[in-house]
Amino acid sequence: MSKLPNIGPQFIQTETRDPIWEWHIPSDSLYLSAGAIKLLQFEEHVPRSMKDFLSHCPLEGLVPYLESVEKILNGSQGPFLELIYMLGKFMVRAQMTVLQRDVFGRGTIVVGALAAIDRQKIEPTFTPVLNSRSLINPPAPSSDASRLLLALNAASDGLWDWNPIDGTVYFSPRYLSMLGYTASAFPQVVESWISRVHPDDYENIVPMQLRIVESPEHGDSFECTYRFLRADGTWAWILGRGYVTQRNASGRATRIVGLHTDVSAGQGDRAQLENLVRNDPLTGLRSRTYYGMTVERLEQQKIRPVGIVACDMDGLKLINDYLGHPEGSRMLCQAALILRSSLYAPDCIARMGGDEFVAILPGCTQEQLEKAIVRINKAFETHNADPDNIPIRMSLGGACAEDMGTSLAQLLVMADRDMLLGKHKERIRWRKHIKSWIEKNTNKIVQIEDCRYM
């Protein structure tokens, strides 16, 4: 709502146990979820900026990390990125996607998800940054690399390391397992790969890579999609990326490293991240991200009329303090169910953060908006009629834009202002009502005169 930009992140829910984060590039503000803070052991000092966050990254890995991220910020390689990098004592696998860009096309808000493993468990001797577009400082095919790759098998990428001089190739355990092969059935030579490329894709794939081996005139990196034979005889669509890391004096490549990704697995990862940022993990309603996308779509399509209902839970802090946060979370979920049952399927109902919700109603006239608010209030009254239920109340405010003369951003401010007027009128009465319920059903004495509840 109108006050949220000054107090917290725009999109992710920071209380979720999922390890996710949000980065606002213009201000360099970084928001880590509770799950990300716990995963990376940042409880004592939570980074509040990306600069602070990356101060835990070794210097030798920092430049390639920033180079990779810059490519999605400037839009040269799409909005999505996966990479692996060192951070403190962890090896981190990150996924990130650009949610917003400015008028020049540069990313302004990025969200991501994390996975991490303690480096001491794998004892790596190098600092890689492996991502879906490039590979920097890759490991040599050694026992250390094998242990590292086994530890990172949760990733959907399989790593390969090719020596074009003698034709040997290191295929990681993940590379083999995602295609159904064992090490004995897939010898570590380049012919193991070449012989399994689909005949219809061969001419577009193999000669191109061999030309890159011969001379830097053909480039030092490539990306391609093709069919590859699985062990069970079926064909997998593979996204392949490679990068020349060494050439001899004559320009011939002496080492090329790369990643293989099963395209369906990669799409699954993207869907998982998309679900995390589009849906509120606690209530099951839409997230602030999805609300923003809905607003953008309605503005682009010039859809009017549109109604907005601003909702704010009353007395949640009393419940959290006297009955505990788990009970407060259950109240939020119950309120979400009441909102959902009171409105229609096409309406977007989003949890904007904490105890604040917004419903955006496309095609809703002023008259229909007023009826919707009445339905919501009646639904809460029905819930509260049962004396066994903890009383739940939401302050509601509404506004309607009949034409394009009022933007949806302005409409939200209007609905929010209307909600706050109603909240102010009912605040004292409802605080006393919750106090009475708590004292009647527990042995606790509630001090509503505390300044925290004013």
Return phi, psi of residue 197, to 5°: -70, 135
Q: What is the pTM assigned to this prediction? A: 0.49
Helix (H) or strand (E) holding 370: helix 366-384
Q: Got the DSSP string for 288-324?
A: HHHHHHHHHHHHHTT---EEEEEEEESSHHHHHHHH-
- For the beta sheet containing 348-353, the strands, ordered from the edge strand earlier in sequence to the opposite edge, are 348-353, 356-362, 306-313, 394-401
Question: Going residue by residue through the chain (454 aa), what tens digit of pLDDT does each one get?
Answer: 333 333 345 678 888 888 999 999 999 999 999 999 999 999 999 999 999 999 998 876 777 788 788 888 887 767 777 777 888 888 888 888 888 888 778 889 999 888 888 766 544 333 444 443 334 333 433 334 333 433 343 345 688 889 999 999 988 877 898 899 998 999 999 999 999 999 988 998 999 999 999 998 888 888 888 899 999 998 888 888 888 888 999 999 998 888 888 775 555 555 566 676 788 888 889 988 889 889 988 998 899 999 999 999 998 988 988 999 889 999 999 999 999 999 886 678 999 988 999 999 999 999 999 999 999 999 999 999 998 899 999 999 999 999 999 999 999 999 999 999 999 888 888 888 998 999 888 888 888 766 555 5
Per DSSP, the three-state class of 100 is strand
DSSP run (H or E) holding 83: strand 80-87
Token pair listed for 366 = 């002023």
Give the separation between CA 15 and CA 281, rounded to whole angstroms: 9
Residue 338: which residues within 8 A CB-CB, separation 6 or more?
Answer: 376, 379, 380, 383, 392
User: Dihedral of the CA atoms 414, 11, 272, 62 (nearest 10)?
Assistant: 160
pLDDT of 141 reads 38
Sign (positive/negative) of CA torsion 345, 346, 347, 353? positive
215-225 burial, b for 16+ CB within 10 Å, e for fewer?
eeeeeeebeee
Tokens matching residue 103 = 């008028």
The counts of H helices and E strands in the chain are 13, 16
Measured at the alpha carbon of residue 64, what is the angle toward residues 59 and 70, in degrees to the nearest 5?
A: 120
Q: Which two tokens stand for residue 319?
A: 């419940």
The predicted structure's pLDDT at residue 253: 92
Residue 271 pLDDT: 58
Q: 């608010």: which residue's tokens?
A: 373
The strands making up 157-163's β-sheet, listed across from edge to edge, are 168-171, 157-163, 253-262, 235-247, 221-229
Query: What does the angle CA 239 – CA 244 – CA 245 come to, to the nearest 5 degrees?
Result: 125
Angle at the Cα of 419 from the Cα atoms of 335 and 377, rounded to 5 degrees = 45
pLDDT value at residue 451: 56
